[in-house]
Amino acid sequence: MEELIQHVINGLNLGAIYALIALGYTMVYGVLQLINFAHSEVYMVGAFAAYYGALRFHLTDNPGWGAFGLTLLIAMVICSALGLCIERFAYRPLRGAPKTNTLITAIGVSLFLQFAGQVVFGADPKLFPEVLRDETLFSFGEIRIQLFDVTILAVALVAMLLLNYFINKTKTGMAIRAVSFSFRSATLMGINVNSIIMVTFIVGSSLAGIGAVLVGLKYPKIQPLMGTLIGLKAFVAAVLGGIGNLPGAIVGGLLMGLCEEMVVAYLSSTYRDALAFGLLIFILLFKPSGIMGQTRVEKV
């Protein structure tokens, strides 16, 4: 029983991170109908931005909430900048093009960043800076609740609440929802779609940056190809919840994290990664619109 609770805690943690990254995928898909393959590399760059930032500003000298907050900020800023560049130079020129062309470009950007990352950062793994010290907060029997676990859940929760407020209670958020619903109509209503898309990328990329820092805390080994696997799983989570649907991304992420944790704990760890692919195929074949998505009818 205690083991189960520990696994649930771990699963929720993992799920919270998947949810943060999944939100980025789902927001971009919502406004552009594009699977932003490069999102996983934005996440990776976030981790390295935190690494180099911590080095530059000597943040590991005084680990604590201040250093942690600063690291988050650095990651968010760098990720947003990268996300904006990608949108501006790779995706915007293809705005009117067939979706497959944009998809191919997205794959190209993803690969480019992976390989450029290997060249610039070096292929060897680096150690994420210790900007926060882990400690055990509570323990009952076999269950241990770590500071990192609480931090991850708390930060993720705050981010999601802020996002929810932003999307549902602000004018810009409403504009994003309008563009997601109908690109054309939004332009006709006077919404500056380019700005909205830029905001979407900023928000999505920032969430990836936050996710990167949280992951870096718990799993400090970072390397240029770290984005691929987690990006795929987060993408599956987004599809699971219904791609384009924000609450869906969160539900999908948490579900994904819990499933993975349970599979590793009770079945076999060899197939942990295959779970993501399997889930993806299953959901696409049986309910492509996801748990919370709605099928749209094509007008003929």
Partner 1 sequence: MGGLLKQSLRGWILVLVVALCISALANVGLNPYQQQILFYIAINIMLATSLNLVNGFCGQFSLGHAGFMAIGAYASALVSLNFQPLGAGFDVLIFPFYALIGGICAGLAGFVVGMPSLRLRGDYLAIVTLGFGEIIRVVLLNLDVAGGARGLYGIPGRTDFMACFHAFFWAGTTVLLLWRLVHSSYGRAFLSVREDEIAASCMGINSTRTKVMAFVISSFFAGAAGSIFAHTTNSLNPSSFQFVKSVDVVIMVVLGGMGSLTGSVIGAILVTILPEALRPLQEYTHVDLRMVIYSLTLILLMIMRPSGLLGSREWNQILPGPWRRRAARA
Are the C-beta atoms of residues 74 and 50 closer than 8 Å to each other? Answer: yes
Handedness of CA 203, 151, 254, 157 (dihedral sign): negative
Q: How far is the CB of 238 from partner 1 (least distance, A)?
A: 11
Place of tokens 């779609």: 193
Are the C-beta atoms of residues 156 and 234 closer than 8 Å to each other? Answer: no
Per CB under 8 A, contacts with partner 1 among 46-75 are none
Cβ proximity to partner 1, 62 vs 100, nearer residue = 100
Q: Determine the Cα–Cα distance for residues 132 and 180; give it in Å rounded to an integer.
A: 38
Residue 99 in the binding site for partner 1 (CB under 8 A): yes
Q: How far is the CB of 285 from partner 1 (least distance, A)?
A: 5
Are the C-beta atoms of residues 58 and 130 closer than 8 Å to each other? Answer: no
Stretch that binds partner 1, among 114-122, 162-170, 219-227, 253-261 (CB under 8 A): 114-122
Q: How far is the CB of 41 from partner 1 (least distance, A)?
A: 11
Q: Determine the Cα–Cα distance for residues 156 and 150; give it in Å rounded to an integer.
A: 10
User: Which residues does residue 144 pair with via DSSP β-bridges, in sequence order?
Assistant: 139
Of positions 60, 101, 136, 168, contacts partner 1 by CB under 8 A: 101
Of positions 100, 135, 138, 169, contacts partner 1 by CB under 8 A: 100
Q: How many residues bind partner 1 (CB under 8 A)?
A: 38
Per CB under 8 A, contacts with partner 1 among 215-244 are 235, 239
Of positions 3, 93, 182, 192, contacts partner 1 by CB under 8 A: 93
Of positions 112, 130, 148, 150, contacts partner 1 by CB under 8 A: 112
Q: What are the b/e assignments for 6-21, b being 16+ CB within 10 Å? A: bbbbbbbbbbbbbbbb
Q: Determine the Cα–Cα distance for residues 15 and 207; give it in Å rounded to an integer.
A: 14
- Show the site string, 182-221: x = touches partner 1 by CB under 8 A, - = not: ----------------------------------------
Which residue spans within 164-254 are E strands per DSSP?
221-222
Collect all residues with Cβ–Cβ distance below 8 Å to 30 and sequence separation of at least 6. Answer: 176, 179, 180, 200, 243, 244, 245, 246
Q: Are strands 126-127 and 136-140 parallel, antiparallel or unpaired?
A: unpaired
Residue 273 in the binding site for partner 1 (CB under 8 A): yes
Cβ proximity to partner 1, 3 vs 273, nearer residue = 273
Per CB under 8 A, contacts with partner 1 among 15-34 are 33-34
Handedness of CA 49, 95, 184, 246 (dihedral sign): negative
Of positions 165, 181, 266, 277, contacts partner 1 by CB under 8 A: 277
Stretch that binds partner 1, among 66-74, 88-96, 200-208, 258-266 (CB under 8 A): 88-96
Are the C-beta atoms of residues 8 and 144 closer than 8 Å to each other? Answer: no
Q: Given the rule CB under 8 A, which residues bind partner 1?
A: 33-35, 90, 93-94, 97, 99-105, 107-109, 111-112, 115-116, 118-119, 235, 239, 270-271, 273-274, 277-278, 280-281, 284-285, 288, 298, 300
